[in-house]
A = this chain, B = another copy of it.
């Protein structure tokens, strides 16, 4: 049997559902569209040397005297006393080029660390910004892929699911799809793709983010293919793979 016919493509809708997935020998793509995975893709593309994901604000603070940029977000807002949170506009070339960033976010960093602990063969970061570069690379690897939605506080989120659906659309011909979540994500994306921003108006996260007055962030996070870099976890750091 052709290797490509045996590799599977799965969508895990929340890190709380990850126990159903065997990540060994699989490539995991961590997705946290609003906004951690978007900002990580943008920052790595803009020349950040590395981004170190940490679980807690306290761990982040341990790097205070390291010279690194410290980024901490909780409930969508920058934690007081930090350089910045997870708005992509904080990850521009002028701010991050040649810098290491230590980042803790409500949802995204936990998914990265869980994937590592479950021995994924590679942990990548995906966003609408690098979706085509990412999927083109995944197509030629001959390995199973798990698209891991970080969600919101361990629960299902529409925006991460839509990204997973968009990736399923690009990848499905070369993979075996066995799980229901991949079919659901694909179908939801078909409904949404004409105008993802409008579709997401009903999502809970949009309502939360609206309160934070970050409409420009949302628009930015939904732009397709603005970068061609792929962040990969190497040891404890996210670095540029391509």
A interface residue numbers (CB < 8 A to B) = 13-14, 16-17, 19-20, 152-158, 161, 178-181, 183-184, 187-188, 191, 202-205
CA distance A92 to B205 in the complex (A): 46
Docked complex Cα distance between A203 and B184 (Å): 9
Q: Is B184 a contact partner of A154 (Cβ separation < 8 A)?
A: no
A177 nearest in chain B by CB position:
B202
Q: In the complex, A183 Cα to B157 Cα: how many Å?
A: 10
Given contacts A20-B154, A158-B183, A161-B180, 9 further A-B contacts (CB under 8 A): A14-B17, A17-B17, A17-B156, A155-B179, A155-B180, A157-B180, A158-B184, A161-B184, A187-B191
A sample of 15 inter-chain contacts (CB < 8 A) reads: A14-B17, A16-B16, A16-B17, A17-B17, A17-B154, A17-B156, A20-B153, A152-B180, A155-B179, A157-B180, A158-B183, A178-B204, A180-B203, A183-B202, A188-B188
A203 close to B183 (CB less than 8 A): yes
Q: Which of A14, A154, A180, A204 is most buried by chain B, counting CB atoms within 10 A of its CB?
A: A180
Known A-B contacts A13-B13, A187-B191; A19 and B180 likewise in contact (beta carbons under 8 Å): no
Given A16-B16, A188-B187, are A180 and B154 also a contact pair (CB < 8 Å)? no
**Contact (Cβ within 8 A) B153 A180:** no
- Whether B19 and A154, one on each chain, are in contact in the complex, defined by CB atoms closer than 8 angstroms, is yes
Q: Which residues of B contact A204 (CB under 8 A)?
A: 178-180
* Least CB distance, A59 to chain B, in whole angstroms: 23
